[in-house]
Amino acid sequence: MTVAAALTKNQSLVLDTLAASQTPLSAYAILDALRPEGLRAPLQVYRALEKLQERGLVHRIESLNAFVACGHPHCQETEMIAFAICERCGTVDEFAEEKVVEGLSLWAERHAFTIQKAAIEIRGICSDCSRPAA
């Protein structure tokens, strides 16, 4: 992977930790996970997270104050992403639904509003959790 090759050691450690997690992680949870790798300071994690976010490889879920690895291959191309957050198991499903993007673009056009960045956070129950227990 050419993208991963250009990452610093700390950045790849942080990205791998997030990619391996089923749920979003706070900066402190990431730090805890990486202590065995020699990371000690929160700043090391924050710096890596900042760079990874700039590259669109990691997203911050504002409402949870936690981070996820990007789950969408074309993320860098779109300014609008949405996260479906399960209230029960905590999994986050990232998606960029064209209809949503279209709708938002239309609204912005009508209101002469320039969207720079949009992240929609939807709370609910995922399909796994809403399935009746067997």
Half-sphere exposure of 94 (CA within 13 A, CB side): 24
Using rule CB under 5 A, residue 68 touches Zn ion: no
Helix (H, G, I), strand (E, B) or coil at 122: strand
* Out of 64, 75, 118, 120, the residue judged to bind Zn ion by CB under 5 A: 75
Q: Which is nearer to Zn ion, 118 or 126 (CB)?
A: 126
Binding mask 21-60 toward Zn ion (x if CB under 5 A, else -) reads ----------------------------------------
Q: Which of 38, 50, 65, 88 binds Zn ion (CB under 5 A)?
A: 88
Rule CB under 5 A: say whether 129 interacts with Zn ion: yes
CB 108 within 8 A of CB 115: yes
- First-residue to last-residue Cα distance in the chain: 41
Determine whether 14 is exposed, middle or buried from the number of CB atoms within 10 Å of its CB (0-12, 13-18, 19+).
buried
Residue 32 or 51 having the CB closest to Zn ion: 51
Contacting residues toward Zn ion, per CB under 5 A: 70, 72, 75, 86, 88-89, 126, 129
